[in-house]
Structure formats: structure tokens, C-alpha cells
């Protein structure tokens, strides 16, 4: 049985003090949670504060990106060993904003995923289509291409430790929301690609998250369909812990 993952990407928000305050308020709300893994990915400078605040809780901490080499003259980059050394257990790879603004490619996604796995991190590998690709009927083609150039380059043993996040780029920060049916269709394409490459068991076992859920209404609707659409990846709404009380 696939264990759900509830993951929050904080993007470029919050200071260290605000991070500590969030954890103080949020941790009691999930203190008894055992049915799902809870992951929060703050900005790099807030990771130490998050790790310290998460001690003794059910919450784990991840990075928002990484570089594929261990060290070197790469100003501004963070390596997988650096993330593990500070207490991260997860890392986001290939987020749509990295692809859009920082020229992330399927090739670099594969390199980063391999580096994360080698360091013992669980990579959340992101895939998804832009609005013009969806409107042009190219969603399935885009997902297959991203898989072929990225995660399908892993060995079966490596892939077993990967989590995938389907994030329709057109539904991130736009007010638009992919319906559970849209997410289910995308997850079906991804599972088929995985099964064709790694086998049916791998396709069934892989945890696929959905990105861009932002409201209680959408969250509840999506979660009710969790058996068909996988497990969940939540963006900026996670920073407002009160939205998860009910």
C-alpha cells in the first residue's frame, strides 16, 4: 500500500523566525499523524531553523533544489551532502519554476535525482505541462518526454526511492485548478510510462503527488479521490496552517 505524502513547498517565503513560529503552531496539529509522511521544504537559509523546530515531531524537512556535484566553484549552489548534513531528508527536483526561470532541463533533472539518491535523500521529481501545451492537446506527450529524459534514466533500484509530483504549470499561482479527473488522467499516463519501463509492480507502487492544490474545497475534493489520483503536494497554502484545521 502506498503511504501518502503531504509535502509543502514554501518557495521564497518566510524568515528563520517566521519558520520557527510556524512549526510551533503547526506541529501540534499533526502530532498524532501516522498515516502519512509530512514534509516541509523551506528556503535554504531557513532549513536549520526548520530542522531544529521539527525535532521530536512527525514532520520532516527537505530542500527546494540541489546541484548534482558534491562541491566546486559553483556560486550559489547547494549540494546533496550539504542538505543531508544540515538535516534534510527530502529534496525537490525539477520544479516548474526551476524549469521556467532557471533553464532546468530533463537532463539536469536526471543528474540531480541521481545525486540526491546517492546522498540518501528522497527526491520529489516534478513533471507537468504548461497552459499552451494543455490547450494544444500535448499533455501526454509532454509527460512522456519529461519521464523519458528524466526518471526513466534511473535504475530500477534507484527509481524505487523516487516520489513524483505532477504539477500542471497552468494551475500554479493562476487561480486555475486542475480537477481530480485531470489529475487522474495525468497520473494514469505517468503510471503507464513507469510500468512500461520498470514493470507493473513499480508502476503500482510509485507515489505520485498532485501539485497546485490551494484551498480547503479543492483539497477535500482531491483527497476524496486519493485512490485514483495519488498523494498530495501542496504549495503556498501550507504556510497558512489554520487552513488545515478542518
Q: How far is CA 137 from the centre of its chain?
A: 25
Residue 181 annotated to the active site: no
Q: Which of 97, 167, 193, 241 is catalytic?
A: 167
Give the residue among 82, 96, 92, 152 at the shortest CA–CA distance from 122. 92
Q: Count Cα neighbours of 104 within 13 Å in the Cβ-side half-sphere.
A: 24
Residue whose C-alpha cell is 513499480: 202
Q: Examine the residue annotation and report whether 95 is marked as an active-site residue of this protein.
A: yes
Beta strands in the chain (DSSP E): 5-9, 37-41, 59-63, 90-93, 122-127, 163-166, 208-213, 231-234
State the cell numbers at 30.
499533526
Is residue 127 a contact partner of residue 147, using CB atoms and an 8 Å limit?
yes
Contact yes or no for 147/98 (Cβ under 8 A): no
Q: What is the dihedral of CA 87, 93, 97, 100, to 10 degrees?
A: 150
Question: Which among 37, 60, 95, 129 is annotated as catalytic?
Answer: 95
Active site residues: 95, 167
Amino acid at each position: 500500500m502506498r503511504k501518502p505524502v503531504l509535502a509543502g513547498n514554501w518557495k521564497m517565503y518566510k524568515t528563520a523566525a517566521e519558520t520557527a513560529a510556524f512549526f510551533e503552531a503547526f506541529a501540534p496539529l499533526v502530532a498524532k499523524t501516522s498515516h502519512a509522511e509530512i514534509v516541509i521544504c523551506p528556503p535554504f537559509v531557513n532549513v536549520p531553523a526548520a530542522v531544529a523546530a521539527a525535532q521530536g515531531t512527525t514532520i520532516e524537512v527537505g530542500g527546494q533544489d540541489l546541484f548534482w556535484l558534491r562541491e566546486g566553484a559553483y556560486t550559489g549552489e547547494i549540494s546533496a551532502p550539504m542538505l543531508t548534513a544540515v538535516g534534510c531528508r527530502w529534496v525537490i527536483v525539477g520544479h516548474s519554476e526551476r524549469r521556467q526561470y532557471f533553464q532546468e532541463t530533463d537532463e539536469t533533472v536526471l543528474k540531480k535525482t541521481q545525486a540526491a539518491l546517492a546522498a540518501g535523500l528522497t527526491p520529489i521529481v516534478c513533471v507537468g505541462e504548461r497552459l499552451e501545451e494543455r490547450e494544444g492537446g500535448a499533455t501526454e506527450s509532454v509527460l512522456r518526454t519529461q519521464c523519458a529524459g528524466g526518471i526513466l534514466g534511473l535504475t530500477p533500484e534507484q527509481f524505487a526511492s523516487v516520489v513524483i509530483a505532477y504539477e500542471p504549470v497552468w494551475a500554479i499561482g493562476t487561480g486555475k485548478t486542475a480537477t481530480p479527473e485531470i489529475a487522474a488522467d495525468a497520473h494514469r499516463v505517468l503510471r503507464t510510462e513507469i510500468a512500461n519501463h520498470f514493470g507493473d509492480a513499480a508502476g503500482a507502487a510509485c507515489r505520485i503527488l498532485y501539485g497546485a492544490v490551494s484551498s480547503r474545497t479543492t483539497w477535500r475534493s482531491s483527497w476524496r479521490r486519493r485512490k485514483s489520483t495519488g498523494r498530495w503536494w501542496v504549495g503556498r497554502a501550507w504556510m497558512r496552517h489554520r487552513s488545515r484545521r478542518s
